[in-house]
Amino acid sequence: MATLDFEFRNQILGNDIGSTLAYCYQCATCSGACPVALVTEGRYNPRRLILDALLGLKEKIFGKENAFNIWGCTICDTCDEVCPQKVELTEIFTILKNISVERGEAPEHYTGQASTVLEHGKAIPSQPAIERRREQLGLPAVMPPDMDEVKKLLTATKLAEKLPKS
C-alpha cells in the first residue's frame, strides 16, 4: 500500500499553481477529455495523477516504472480547458515532470531532445538536405539561432545540470 508523503504533498500545494489541486473534486471530466487517456484506454489518467499528487502518494507517481504516469501527458491543455474547478493540471504535471528530471527518471527521448536544444538551439538541427529542399521550394533561408542567447537562457534554467551526463 502506498504511503502518504506530506512533505511532497506540501511541496506541490505550497505554490500558487499547485494550490489549485485542492479544488479537485474528482469529477473525471479531465480524463474524459484527455486524448492520451482515450488512446491508452485509461492507462494514462490525469484524474488519477491529480488525486495521487493531492494525497502525496509519491511512490505511485515517481520511479522509472511509473514514468508513463507523468510523461504520457503531451501538454495539449485540453484538461485545463474543461476542468470545472480551474485546476491547473498541465502546470501541475510540469512540476511533477521537473521533479522526475531531477530524480534522473525522465525518459531518454525527452532528455535527448533537451540536449539537442542545448547544443544546437533547436530541436531539429538544420541540415544541408533541408536547406537545399527549402531553396528548391523557393522558401527563405532559416536564420540560425543566437546561440549566446540560447545558452544564457538555458543556463539560467540550470538545464545542463539537470540532464543526465552521457
Contact region for ligand SF4 (CB under 6 A) — 7-15, 87-95, 113-121, 139-147?
87-95
Contact region for ligand SF4 (CB under 6 A) — 9-17, 30-38, 63-71, 145-153?
30-38
Task: Please count the other Cβ atoms lying within 10 Å of the Cβ belonging to residue 94.
Answer: 15
Between 46 and 121, whose beta carbon lies closer to ligand SF4?
A: 46
Closest separation in Å from C-beta 42 to ligand SF4: 12
Closest separation in Å from C-beta 117 to ligand SF4: 21
Contact region for ligand SF4 (CB under 6 A) — 7-15, 74-82, 109-117, 129-137?
74-82
Q: Are 20 and 92 in contact (CB under 8 A)?
A: yes
Burial of 145 from C-beta contacts in 10 A (0-12 / 13-18 / 19+): middle
Closest separation in Å from C-beta 73 to ligand SF4: 3
Give the separation between CA 59 and CA 131, rounded to whole angstroms: 47
Give the separation between CA 148 and CA 152, rounded to whole angstroms: 6
Task: Please count the other Cβ atoms lying within 10 Å of the Cβ belonging to residue 50.
Answer: 22
Q: Are 139 and 110 in contact (CB under 8 A)?
A: no
HSE of 84, CA atoms in CB hemisphere, 13 A: 6
Applying the rule CB under 6 A, the residues between 101 and 130 that interact with ligand SF4 are none
Applying the rule CB under 6 A, the residues between 37 and 66 that interact with ligand SF4 are 46-47, 50
Contact region for ligand SF4 (CB under 6 A) — 3-11, 84-92, 105-113, 132-140?
84-92
Q: Give the three-state DSSP class for 62.
A: coil
Residues that bind ligand SF4 (CB under 6 A): 24-30, 34, 36, 46-47, 50, 73-79, 83-85, 87, 89-90
